[in-house]
Chains A and B, each alone.
Chain A
Amino acid sequence: MKRRVALFVTCLADQLWPAVGHATVAVLERAGCTVEFDARQTCCAQPAFNAGYQAEARRVARHFVEVFEDCEAIVAPSGSCTAMVHRFAQLFRDEPAWCERAERVAARTHELASFLVRELGVRDLGARFPARLAWHDACHGLRELGLKSEPRALLAHVRELELCEFAAAESCCGFGGTFSVKFPELSTAMLDHKLASLAQAKVTHLSALDGSCLMQLAGRLARQGSPVKTVHLAEVLAGA
């Protein structure tokens, strides 16, 4: 029987990179899932939560819970947004009823690579993506969801793709939501540390499971006139 999956496309992919959303659908369908998209969805509430505006974040988190609480599995092409949903308990720590509902939804919310490898046991999606590609271990995927081997296992099965590790793979890109605009110089210094290490790897592409990191990385690469292209994991896996 086909696994039914609710796509949480994330607000950034929805508005900035719809191709990531379409690629996510294609990858999940290739993995044998039926993908549903509930257009009532908006955002995971992370921007306000990280900025300290918890009351504002709670309002959006409640909306997320209401939209997704009847779904068997919710999949998002983002480690950061998934980690936020897993953090709802902290947001609702004074509201036990909401906390319980939020934790039920959190238990069924998965990041894409994690869902494919851990839940479906899929590693080879028959993808082809000609590139020398470096992998950025996005912080929330790496440290909050423990995703290190999962994306690599998926990339290892992509035809014509050479995965090139670099020293600063696990270093933060410096995005951090409002951090990137509150302290732009500091954010950029962290970013440049990462990109200096990337330059050693001589790659054609840089990939990650989070669009927000890729936005930060791509923004600087473009400003520096670098030929390195950024691409979301979903787009690599959807490559044919």
Chain B
Amino acid sequence: MNPPGPETFAANARAALADQALRGALRRATDTFAERRAAAIGGVPDWEELREQARAIKAHTLARLDHYLQEFTRHAEAAGTRVHWARDAAEACRIVAGLAAQHGARRLVKSKSMATEEIHLNAALARDGAEPVETDLGEWIIQLAGETPSHIIVPAIHKTKESIGALFVAQLGIPPSSDPQVLAAHARARLRRHFAEAALGVSGVNFGVAETGTFLVLENEGNARMTTTLPRVHVALMGIEKLVPRFADLEVFLRLLPRSGTGQHLTSYQSLFTGPDGEREGPRELHVVLLDNGRSGLLADELTRQTLACIRCGACLNACPVYQQIGGHAYGSVYPGPIGAILTPQLSGLERAGTLPFASSLCGACKDVCPVKIDIPSVLLELRARAVEGTRTAPPRRGGWLERLTWRLWSLLSAGPRRFALAARLARLGERLPLVRRLAPPLAAWSSTRELPRLAPRSFRDGHRRKA
């Protein structure tokens, strides 16, 4: 299923707001994650210093990304890893599909990876006749349902145990149940068979280490461990921004990421890979596909570059009052929530995702919880400016000229006291006309749910002048 285009955000949001089951599931889940996060970071006295260290490491790496990519590649290849470079989604999919074909792997297993979602790998593999199977429980549920993830770390956050039970009855023919233990047991039995049969496993990457060519995969279910050890071939897809310079840097991020994401002190599994383990058990071949897909285009601008520091913990989603109301699907982008609102327009272009930077009240809760201190509100504001700048040259959208005219007029009237006072007096006249209050689009939108305030009979400046 293709996600709806971001331009339909307003309509998607309305639909989500009408879905009470969705909103209940979202409220419970985001509240729980926020509480767990708060409890987990409460026990870390140097939390703020850790965040600052992480920010600095990422900023340093992104400023010299070309250097660290070469260093990573050199060390990974020396350890026997085969490194592939993918300029875009299509190239990355071709590389993975090519490896699957080369190894005769019709059935392949996948562990959770946002990068594979970003390039729509499953659809590409299916077109080539392969059968990718998601093995993370949440991802598997989403795959069975023919949906897309609605959260970065909790892909099925929008689902209730009842809806998952119904899905399993319909898709797997199990006896009716909504008991999470029973449902998980059915999933485990099915997935074990896939692990045993698959010739190729695909994983994502949480962090790549330049100085050793190592990469790290974090997870809780053990499915990524099996995906990366049972099949003969392991292919890891890694966004080029995932690098850190030194192995010791991992300590900082290992303390930040699980606490920010799930509120755990550490994930249940941490798997480190430095080359294949061909002599003993485990895959004989290890491949890393380095994915650009628009990322290098973000490196030039210092303000917006920080978007690439994201470690995909999902904390900003849980903290966001917009996400809490409507969930991830309304964003119509693989990456939802505050981080999606800044990442997607930069990866896919403002002409496609230009609405997303406006889908925020700029409350700043995302910035407060971000473990790498991404200043999401500042980036949102910058992208809003670029979106508006784009409309100055691009063919104007419906109503765009009126909006521009309004702001130009506002700026003229607000840049001088006489003009400002005159505008205020005109507004007082206009306010008396019932048609203006009813028909001016912003006023009508406001009063659909809220009483409109009235202008004071005498402004402060007029009152002050009289007194003086």
Chain A residues with a Cβ under 8 A of chain B: 9, 11, 13-19, 21-22, 37, 39-43, 45, 47-57, 59-60, 62-63, 90, 93, 139-140, 143-144, 171-172, 174-191, 193, 215-216, 218-220, 222-223
Of chain A, the residue at the smallest CB distance from B364 is: A143
Of chain A, the residue at the smallest CB distance from B384 is: A52
Beyond A53-B388, A63-B415, A190-B322, whether A16 also contacts B363 by CB under 8 A is: no
The answer to whether B410 touches A47, judged by C-beta atoms less than 8 angstroms apart, is yes
The answer to whether A172 touches B13, judged by C-beta atoms less than 8 angstroms apart, is no
> Which size class do B's interface residues fall under?
35 or more
From the candidates B326, B362, B384, name the one contacting A186 in the complex (CB within 8 A). Answer: B326
The answer to whether A56 touches B363, judged by C-beta atoms less than 8 angstroms apart, is no
Beyond A179-B361, A186-B13, whether A54 also contacts B385 by CB under 8 A is: yes
Point out the residues of chain B lying under 8 angstroms from A56, CB to CB.
Answer: 407-408, 410-411
From the candidates A39, A62, A185, name the one contacting B417 in the complex (CB within 8 A). Answer: A39
The answer to whether A183 touches B10, judged by C-beta atoms less than 8 angstroms apart, is yes
The answer to whether B417 touches A40, judged by C-beta atoms less than 8 angstroms apart, is yes
Beyond A41-B417, A60-B415, whether A18 also contacts B378 by CB under 8 A is: no
Point out the residues of chain B lying under 8 angstroms from A51, CB to CB.
Answer: 384, 388, 407
Nearest CB in chain A: distance from B159 CB, A:
21
Nearest CB in chain A: distance from B398 CB, A:
14
From the candidates B385, B388, B459, name the one contacting A14 in the complex (CB within 8 A). Answer: B459
Complex CA gap A185/B448 in Å reads 9
Q: Is B303 among interface residues, defined by CB-CB distance under 8 A? A: yes
Complex CA gap A63/B17 in Å reads 41
Nearest CB in chain B: distance from A21 CB, A:
4
Number of A-B contacts (CB under 8 A): 185
The residues in B between 1 and 50 inclusive whose CB is less than 8 angstroms from any CB of A are 10, 13-14, 17
Complex CA gap A142/B414 in Å reads 27
30 interchain pairs (CB within 8 A)?
Answer: A11-B420, A14-B459, A14-B460, A14-B461, A15-B459, A15-B460, A22-B460, A49-B381, A52-B358, A53-B388, A53-B404, A54-B385, A56-B411, A60-B415, A63-B414, A90-B378, A143-B363, A143-B365, A172-B363, A176-B361, A178-B442, A181-B446, A186-B17, A187-B361, A191-B449, A219-B446, A220-B450, A220-B451, A222-B450, A222-B451
Nearest CB in chain A: distance from B330 CB, A:
9
Binding site secondary structure of chain B: helix
Q: Is B458 among interface residues, defined by CB-CB distance under 8 A? A: yes
Q: Is B445 among interface residues, defined by CB-CB distance under 8 A? A: yes
Complex CA gap A184/B444 in Å reads 10
Nearest CB in chain B: distance from A27 CB, A:
15
Write the B311-349 contact mask toward A (1 if CB under 8 angstroms, else 0).
000000000011011100000000000000000000000
* Extra contacts besides A40-B417, A175-B361 (13): CB < 8 Å: A11-B420, A14-B459, A15-B460, A39-B465, A50-B381, A53-B404, A93-B303, A143-B363, A181-B441, A183-B10, A189-B17, A190-B322, A190-B361
Complex CA gap A191/B364 in Å reads 16
Complex CA gap A215/B303 in Å reads 33
Point out the residues of chain A lying under 8 angstroms from B412, CB to CB.
Answer: 59
Q: Is B360 among interface residues, defined by CB-CB distance under 8 A? A: yes
The answer to whether A223 touches B449, judged by C-beta atoms less than 8 angstroms apart, is yes
Beyond A18-B458, A190-B325, A193-B325, whether A53 also contacts B450 by CB under 8 A is: no
From the candidates A55, A57, A218, name the one contacting B451 in the complex (CB within 8 A). Answer: A218
Q: Is B368 among interface residues, defined by CB-CB distance under 8 A? A: yes
Complex CA gap A42/B412 in Å reads 11
Nearest CB in chain A: distance from B345 CB, A:
12
The answer to whether B460 touches A50, judged by C-beta atoms less than 8 angstroms apart, is no
